[in-house]
Amino acid sequence: MPELPDVAVYVESLAAKLRGATLRRARVLNPFVLRTAVPPIGSAEGRTVEGAERLGKRIVLALSGGLFLVIHLMIAGRLKWLPAGAKPPGKVSLAVFEFDAGTLVLTEQGSKRRASVHLLPDRAALAAMDPGGIDVAAADLAAFTARLQSENHTLKRALTNPRLFSGIGNAYGDEVLHRARLSPVSLTRSLEPEAIARLFDATRAVMGEWTGRLRSEAASTGGWPEKVTAFRPEMAVHGRYGQPCPVCASPVQRIVYADNETNYCARCQTGGRLLADRALSTLLRKSWPKHIDDLD
């Protein structure tokens, strides 16, 4: 799922291309993508774009007349920018928004249709969609600490909870915890103040660094992010199971659960202890290695 760095760069690119532009035509190619009926999507046509915003992991276009077009990419949704009059890609296109300067296309790979479009009548309706997570870049340590310890959960679950923190998902959650040298399964209310401060600094640094990196990539490809993915070779641990940690060279470990996995370095983050994988540790039982040094 695109997270804060990707969404922020999408928003910046849309603002640069569309501020003041008129939406000439809005086409919904898949009926499941549009999640609102009032106001009708056709009422967005003829309105100008007054700005682009980020609401958590959602992308918002503010239209004249007080309407808001909200796009949630979910896991496999992506935005493509095409020259005016260009034909959108085949089966993956869910919605098309035609402007004089070009065409914005919402696509989604795979058979599951999770991406969504909402057209909202006013800012109050937009505010109602906000899950409430704080933007760590705009928060101080006290606010971060209060949110982190408002519930007693594992660090990975807390960081990726949109009600607590805005825009952090599975990928950057892994990267933040590796940078902070903290176990993903440590409980939020068990952390010492020094560890919380380290996590706060790591979160701001990782999200800021990756936003800057993706912004530079977009600038090099005509002002549009062409490669939006949760798996990047420059990442420290996310998606790098079995590969060497860039800090200590130990093989990156993982915990698999449902459709997600948590990647971590045992030597850097858990004192060498291997975290139990719900599937493999149950299967192997006594044969499950307990420490990174037990691995062959």
pLDDT greater at residue 222 or residue 164: 164
Q: Name the residue type at position 95.
A: A
Q: Does residue 239 have a pLDDT over 90?
A: yes
End-to-end CA distance of the chain: 34
Within 151-284, residue ranges assigned H as helices are: 155-159, 170-180, 193-220, 266-269, 280-284
Task: Please state, rounded to an integer, the average pLDDT across all residues of the chain.
Answer: 93
Q: Residue 167 half-sphere exposure, CB side, CA atoms within 13 Å?
A: 25
Confidence of residue 260 (pLDDT cuts 50, 70, 90): confident
Q: Name the residue type at position 272.
A: G
How many Å apart are CA 28 and CA 19, to the nearest integer?
22
The angle formed by the CA atoms of residues 70, 38 and 96, to the nearest 5 degrees, is 45
Name the token pair of 138.
Answer: 């705009």
Residues 177 and 98 in one domain: no
| Mean pLDDT value of segment 115-123 | 98
Mapped onto helix, strand or coil, the DSSP state of residue 94 is strand
Among 75, 57, 46, which residue's Cα sits nearest to residue 5? Answer: 57
| Mean pLDDT value of segment 271-287 | 65
pLDDT of residue 219: 95
Residues 161 and 235 in one domain: yes
Residues 8 and 43 in one domain: yes
pLDDT greater at residue 39 or residue 90: 39
What are the DSSP E strand ranges found in 83-161?
A: 93-99, 103-108, 116-120
Spatial strand order of the sheet with 49-55 comes to: 49-55, 58-63, 68-72, 116-120
Confidence of residue 1 (pLDDT cuts 50, 70, 90): confident
Q: Name the residue type at position 123.
A: R
Residues 144 and 120 in one domain: no
| β-strand pairing of 49-55 with 77-82 | unpaired
- Contact assessment for residue 248 and residue 265, using Cβ atoms and an 8 Å cutoff: yes
Residues 123 and 145 in one domain: no
What are the DSSP E strand ranges found in 31-168?
A: 49-55, 58-63, 68-72, 77-82, 93-99, 103-108, 116-120
- In this predicted structure, which of 175-189, 213-227, 253-267 has the lowest mean pLDDT? 253-267
Residues 144 and 101 in one domain: no
pLDDT of residue 102: 96
Domain boundary among 74, 101, 128: 128
pLDDT of residue 272: 94
Range of the domain at 184: 136-294
pLDDT of residue 281: 47
* Backbone region of residue 167 per phi and psi (left: phi > 0; alpha: psi in -120 to 50; beta: other values): left
pLDDT of residue 187: 97
Residues 94 and 234 in one domain: no
Q: At 29, which CATH number?
A: 3.20.190.10
Percentage of the chain modeled with pLDDT above 70: 93
Residues 38 and 152 in one domain: no
Name the token pair of 175.
Answer: 């990267």
pTM of the model: 0.92
Burial class (CB within 10 angstroms; exposed 0-12, middle 13-18, buried 19+) of 128:
exposed
| Mean pLDDT value of segment 222-233 | 93
Buried b (16+ CB within 10 A) or exposed e, 185-196: bbebeebeeeeb
pLDDT of residue 284: 43
- In this predicted structure, which of 78-92, 133-147, 252-266, 280-294 has the lowest mean pLDDT? 280-294
Q: Name the residue type at position 193.
A: P
| Mean pLDDT value of segment 119-130 | 98
Domain boundary among 75, 93, 128: 128
Q: What is the largest CA-CA distance in the chain?
A: 66
Confidence of residue 290 (pLDDT cuts 50, 70, 90): low
Residues 157 and 260 in one domain: yes
- Contact assessment for residue 27 and residue 253, using Cβ atoms and an 8 Å cutoff: no
Q: Residue 79 half-sphere exposure, CB side, CA atoms within 13 Å?
A: 27
Q: Dump pLDDT digits (tens) for 99-109.
A: 998 999 999 98
Residues 121 and 179 in one domain: no
Confidence of residue 24 (pLDDT cuts 50, 70, 90): very high
Percentage of the chain modeled with pLDDT above 90: 85
pLDDT of residue 206: 98
Q: At 287, which CATH number?
A: 1.10.8.50
pLDDT of residue 111: 77
Q: How many domains does the chain have?
A: 2
Name the token pair of 234.
Answer: 């420059």
Q: Does residue 276 have a pLDDT over 90?
A: no
Residues 53 and 146 in one domain: no
Residues 238 and 151 in one domain: yes
Domain boundary among 128, 156, 189: 128
